[in-house]
Amino acid sequence: MAGGEQIGAIWRRTSALIDRLDARLLLQQVCGCTYAELIAHPERTLTAAQCVEFDALMARRVAGEPLAYLLGSAFFAGLEFAVSPDVLIPRPETEVLVGEAQRLARNLDAPRIVDLGTGAGIVAIVLARLCPSAQVTAVDLSSAALAIARANAARHGATIRFLHGDWYEPLGEERFDLIVSNPPYVADGDPHLRRDGLPFEPQIALTDGIAGGDGLACIRRIVAAAAEHLLPGGWLLIEHGYDQAVEVSILLSRAGFSEIGSWRDSAAIARVTGGVLTAATGRATLVS
Ligand SMILES: C[S@@+](CC[C@H](N)C(=O)[O-])C[C@H]1O[C@@H](n2cnc3c(N)ncnc32)[C@H](O)[C@@H]1O
């Protein structure tokens, strides 16, 4: 497209190619204007550079890249977070994990909370804001994800200790009142990985990469070592796949957890399963 095209014309031209809301948000991004300004001035003309930028973004959207990556941000729990292809795009289901964690944390004085696999930091940051007395730690294996999480924490004024490493490894022998995690849980080879923009998201955030596995390898590791990192009476809450609640409950039960329960998302799917460890001890057996 050459420079000089009017917003109204662009809007009409793109409506057959991408969702109208997507087109609108991309146009706002390129023009640096609000929705009101956009519709109030359909005669406004984009510069040649803006036209090139818009067409490039639209081509990526047509190719299936998630809008959040094109805009560089996504909303979670009413807050805007920076995202890039280095982090999973926040999902509304994860609000179930945050809600249950907040319910448990509010009964505690200065609770120690760790978020394993923090990604863009959404769980840790929202919890830190909801529970100002909490000491929140966040771990991720991806340094690129941690850089984004740190920036998001600064943006939202959340004080969080970010650690780089493999699940509990950077925590040494520290123990917590609450361990929360939304780990990778999609089975390698699951057809969902090829749909709905998932090919554009970091595979380390989606799947354990174990060919022929059931997607539960990360959850098994997190459950097995939880006893070494929970204080007596501490809780472990794990977000999981739509069909994994029973398996996760069994893993928790075998690892010595009690009061095991699952919590449903807005689609009535059991999304988060957790339990309490009344007597925190040493290593549990890695059960399959
Ligand atoms: C499903 S994403 C969750 C991101 C974020 N907590 C959320 O809910 O949007 C899983 C995260 O776990 C991280 N991860 C994967 N393997 C890990 C490991 N072995 N140790 C620590 N983090 C890991 C990934 O980098 C990714 O950020």
SS (H, E, C) 75-96: EECCEEEECCCCCCCCCCCHHH
pLDDT reported for residue 280: 54
Residue 144 located in a structural domain? yes
Residue 1 located in a structural domain? no
Q: Is the pLDDT of residue 83 over 60?
A: yes
Residue 69 located in a structural domain? no
Measuring CA to CA, which residue among 162, 151, 97, 103 is closest to residue 123? 97
Average pLDDT estimate for 163-189 = 97
Residue nearest to atom 18 of ligand 1 (CA): 166
Same domain, 152 and 58: no
Same domain, 150 and 254: yes
Residue 286 located in a structural domain? no
Measuring CA to CA, which residue among 198, 175, 176 is closest to residue 188? 198
Same domain, 218 and 131: yes
Residue 71 located in a structural domain? no
Q: Is the pLDDT of residue 283 over 60?
A: no
Instruction: Report the alpha-carbon distance of residue 39 to residue 31 in Å, rounded.
Output: 12
Distance 155 CA to ligand 1 centre (A): 21
Write the burial class of residue 100 (CB in 10 Å: 0-12 exposed, 13-18 middle, 19+ buried). buried
pLDDT reported for residue 150: 98
Residue 203 located in a structural domain? yes
pLDDT reported for residue 11: 82
pLDDT reported for residue 13: 86
Instruction: Report the alpha-carbon distance of residue 38 to residue 17 in Å, rounded.
Output: 19
CATH number at residue 235: 3.40.50.150
What lies within 8 Å, CB to CB, of 220 at 6+ separation is 251, 286, 287, 288
Residue 287 located in a structural domain? no
Same domain, 26 and 133: no
Residue 218 located in a structural domain? yes
pLDDT: which is higher, 12 or 100: 100
pLDDT reported for residue 212: 87
Distances (CA, A) of 246 to 129, 186, 202, 209, 213: 31, 16, 27, 22, 17
Distance 194 CA to ligand 1 centre (A): 19
Instruction: Report the alpha-carbon distance of residue 235 to residue 218 in Å, rounded.
Output: 18
Same domain, 102 and 192: yes
Nearest atom of ligand 1 to the alpha carbon of 145? 27
Distance 70 CA to ligand 1 centre (A): 21
Same domain, 126 and 224: yes
Count of domains observed in the chain: 2
Distance 32 CA to ligand 1 centre (A): 32
- For residue range 227-250, list pLDDT tens digits in order: 999 999 999 999 999 999 999 999
Q: Which of 79, 182, 207, 222 to mutate to test the pocket of ligand 1 (most atoms within 8 A of CB)?
A: 182
DSSP tag of 156: T
- Containing domain of residue 126, as a range? 84-277
Does the CA dihedral 230-235-239-244 come out positive or negative? Answer: positive
Q: Is the pLDDT of residue 206 over 60?
A: yes
User: What angle is formed at CA 24 by the lines to CA 88 and CA 13, rounded to 5 degrees?
Assistant: 120
Same domain, 109 and 161: yes
